[in-house]
Structure 1
Amino acid sequence: MPPRRRDRRSRRDPSPSPSHPSRPRAPSSTPRPRVRLAFVALPLLLLILAALHFTGRLSRPQAPRTTPISVYERGLVKRQVSADEILAEHDRVSEKRSLRHFPNPVLAYVTPWNSKGYDMAKLFSAKLTHVSPVWYDLKSDGNKLVLEGQHNYDAGWVSELQSNASLVVPRVVLEAFPGVVLLKKKPRDKAIDLIVSECRDKGYDGIVLESWSRWAAYGVLDDPKLRKLALQFVKQLGEALHSISSQLSTRNHLELIYVIPAPRMEGLNNQDFGPEDLLQLADSVDGFSLMTYDFSGPQNPGPSAPLKWIQYSLTTLLPEKGSASRGYSHMIFLGINFYGNNFLLSKGGDGSSITGRDFIHLIEKYKPSLQWDDKSSEHFFIYSDEGVRHAVFYPTLMSLSVRLDEAQDWGIGLSIWEIGQVKSLSDSGSHPSWKLCDIPGFP
């Protein structure tokens, strides 16, 4: 895809852009309690730390303002939410951040360019089963393969997370030429050895591998032979990681989580990851990070992750009837975005992703009226600046609560992109997503 995914490396990252769009199932008008509390805490938590401007990931995390009363008890998880309520409540989080309510795995991405995520991961490590720092790229350098990113390694940070029982599984983006790693045995074995050796040397608990979008860009997925070799590469890497024991992982081996795009609504094509691909990899992979975000873009402004698209994606990958893939629902990490979008509603369109800091700034400046879209189960607001109308979509407590509820209904985990994009502790406030920790049901 040209990646629209919000990696934000230099405001953008070449990560696979999700193939887009869901089983229509209207959300209940009032979120169930288990979902409500869990969703509020996490996004709010992330908004606070991401906005912090700091220059060292080993800084001592500042404690946010806490409250013993949940966001549900305070009546904040609802469709009719006001800008004043968000401004008054966005900088408080549940004091029970060490309790875990969500029974399934939760993977949180951390990026160097939104570095407050390092502190967020430490503060909320009790709620995160997996933390994936976005550190590595496996590239071609002439006839050689090079694993870039070792300089990002932070031994103290990794050790602290692992001491709290969070698995550290750094992301590795496979950018090497497919003709090198797929067609030739020696380079393929070398690529796998570079990854496995880095895990062993640094004491990681496995990795998150991202390669599907690169293979799509090179046309690998359109060629049956190359597609088969691509899946075999993932399987071989998984088997190599599984051959190494791990003290933290419940599976007792190093883990491989594979990043996959969300299926498009119009049906699967060669570049989509489908149920047959899942079945082929299920024995060699420990989980799939499903990118259910970035549904809309500047040329088609709208919600980031419509609920029906999420439902469609899950139904496509995990059919309820007549398919063995349904039994692998526990391996899915449903993608949850902790960023939003600010679209220009003018001819030609334009727009950019926004973080928690941006969201709060817009709320403070324009005091907009937030609207709830029943079709997507997301909040948005419209404002005008110098005669130009903007539409802003950002995850609120209600939208997050609905998606958490969906994840629990399916028995799947969560993958959060990414926890450094929340509002910072040192700023005047934080974002509503911080309050996910207040929701009974969130980790």
Structure 2
Amino acid sequence: MARRRERRVEQSQDRRKERVGTATREDKFSDSDASDCKLIGIFVVFFIVIPAISVLVYSIKYGSGTKRFEPVVTERGLIKTDISYQEILAENLKIPENASQRHYDYPVLAYITPWNSRGYEMANRFNSKFTHLSPVWYDLKSQGSSLVMDGRHNADKGWLSELRMKGDALVLPRVVLEAFPTKLLKKKKQRDKAIDLIVTECKEMDYDGIVLESWSRWAAYGVLHDPDMRNMALKFIKQLGHALHSVRSTRNPEQKLQLVYVIGPPHSEKLQQHDFGPEDLRSLSDAVDGFSLMTYDFSGPNNPGPNAPLQWIRFTLQLLLGPPGNNTQNLAPKIFLGINFYGNDFILSGGSGGAAVVGRDYLSLLEKHRPLIQWEKNSGEHFFVYSDENNVRHAVFYPSLMSIYLRLEEARSWGTGISIWEIGQGLDYFFGLL
């Protein structure tokens, strides 16, 4: 349990953890309460003008010209903005008969965490929906003057075997590079050792490659602010990619081992030295098979609001790929646009704070508070407001069929793939959209 708590802390730093454990709630939300409506109005205005990044400004200044998609109507008519809590409770477990059919031809990468066993179940159940599966298993760490690969104890060989009997999705475990970057990047022996550990693990465990996460940690250490160290970081990623590409999969000799690299969105309107930008994308394009772009966690406890506003997603993609006709646009298929299957429960009054909301928590909140679910068109997300047992007001943002559909279509319009964090946190009927 201690190990799992540590992992949750790490995921918080990456803006990608599973956050669980909400307080007990009582008071039902009433849509006739005038003060509630006023609070909602104030809240919506607040998150539209978040000081850190103005989504509205991005929309006006950097609009990509992306086509706005009209919602389609499924046989049950659930992809819509006007949705009730009763419909979600009644329909979330229902999956169309053609659940195995893929609706998009772009790559779909799904993350799975060892502390959420439901993700393993969903990976098996909807195997045909995914092209890449990334169980969050490994950390590459410094140990004295050496390096160690920690995490094989997480690897579930039985699940891997069952998974591969059901489909062809590539399995690329995530490896977080926690080794001290100054030592790793400056010393050839350390770089070679790190690459050898990764490639050897892929061979011995019969993986199809890895998903590597290191950029955010390098930025936190200040490595990416130094031009020389930044170049060394890029060279290491290239070296690792070429090393993986030199190895053939034992399951499919025609397939080389793959490298997917995790990148974050920019933190300001203008790219900073430590941000991953279009030049980095072009520089690594031959060595990296895909870039997992973390377009979620836009808001936080100190600036409550939507998880991933559509206008911010468009701005991020335009900043990374450039305007239509730019020579970076042809790299769009290597981008896996991040889509969150979790939500957030933010405190609006009586202080600040919040916690992640996964599917089971969300359904419990709906059953308890019977809220009025509202659509915020500027962000393209649903939310609701409720009061807890201490009469503290909360706002809950959680994905809906409509919000996910719009983001899937956004990926299609740009020619990118998608990456989902993480499939154990969603509702069953989300998978019918993929």
Q: Match for 1:403 among 403, 407, 426? A: 407
For residue 153 of structure 1, what is the aligned residue in structure 2?
155
Cross-structure match for 1:254: 257
Give, in whole Å, the separation in 1 of the partners of 2:398 and 2:6. 16
1:116 CA drift (Å): 1.2
Aligned residue type for 1:331: K
1:10 alignment partner in structure 2? 8
Q: Aligned AA for 1:200? A: K
Structure 1 residue 141, shift from structure 2 partner? 0.6
| Structure ID, larger Rg | 2
The one-letter code of the counterpart of 1:112 is P
Could you say what secondary structure the match of 1:230 adopts?
helix
Asked if 1:438 is matched to 2:420, the reply is: no
Report the aligned-residue RMSD: 2.1
Name the structure 1 match of 2:82: 80
One-letter code aligned to 1:10? R
Task: Identify the range of structure 1 (76-85 vs 13-22) with the bigger mean alpha-carbon deviation.
Answer: 13-22
CA-CA distance at 1:247 after TM superposition: 5.9
Classify the secondary structure of the residue corresponding to 1:146. strand
Query: d(CA) in 2 for partners of 1:232 and 1:342?
Result: 40
SS at match of 2:211: strand
Is 1:191 aligned to 2:231, yes or no?
no
Deviations 1:255-295 (A, max 9, x none): 00000001234211012110000001000000000000000
Normalising by structure 1, we get a TM-score of 0.83
Aligned residue identity for 1:105: P
Unaligned runs of at least 5 residues, structure 1: 1-6, 37-71, 423-430
Identify the structure with bigger relative contact order (alpha carbons < 8 Å, sequence gap 6+). Answer: 1
Distance 1:27 1:379, change over 3 A: farther
Q: Which residue of 2 aligns with 1:30?
A: 70
Residues 313, 248 of structure 1: CA spacing in aligned structure 2 closer, same or farther, 3 A cutoff? farther
Check 1:29–1:173 CA distance in 2 against 1; reply closer, same or farther (3 A cut): closer
Q: Is structure 2 residue 210 aligned with structure 1 residue 207?
A: yes
Once the two structures are TM-superposed, the CA of residue 208 in structure 1 deviates from its matched residue by 0.0
Are positions 1:132 and 2:141 aligned together? Answer: no
The letter for the 2-side match of 1:225 is D
Q: State the partner residue of 1:365.
A: 368
Report the 3-state secondary structure (helix = DSSP H, G, I; strand = E; otherwise coil) of the residue aligned with 1:273: coil
Q: Distance in 2 between matches of 1:232 and 1:28?
A: 39
Q: Relative to 1, partners in 2 of residues 1:216 and 1:411: Cα closer, same or farther, differing over 3 Å? A: same
Indicate if the aligned counterparts of 1:335 and 1:414 stay in contact, CA closer than 8 A: yes
How far apart, in 1, do the equivalents of 2:13 and 2:261 lie? 13
Q: 1:158 to 1:418 in 2, by over 3 A?
A: same
Contact 2:66 2:413 in 1 (8 A): no
- What residue in structure 2 maps to residue 234 of structure 1? 237
Structure 1 stretch 368-377 or stretch 256-265: which is displaced more? Answer: 256-265
Q: CA deviation at 1:101?
A: 2.0
Paired letter, 1:134? V
Query: TM-score if structure 2 supplies the norm length?
Result: 0.85
Aligned counterpart, 2:42: none
Determine if contact 1:161/1:167 at 8 Å carries over to the other structure. Answer: no
Per residue, is there more helix in 1 or in 2?
A: 2
Higher mean alpha-carbon deviation, 92-101 vs 375-384, is at 92-101
> How far off its partner does 1:322 sit?
5.6
Structure 2 counterpart of 1:382, one-letter code: V
How many residues end up aligned between the 2 structures? 386
The Cα of 1:323 is off from its aligned counterpart by 3.1
Shift of residue 367, structure 1, vs aligned partner: 0.5
- Aligned counterpart for 2:393 among listed residues 389, 407, 423: 389
Which residue is equivalent to 1:69? Answer: none
Q: Alignment partner of 2:273: what SS?
A: coil
| Percent of aligned positions that are identical | 56
Q: How far apart in 2 are the matches of 1:290 and 1:8?
A: 24
Quote the residue 2:103 is aligned against: 101
Shift of 1:246: 2.3
Post-superposition offset of 1:26: 8.1
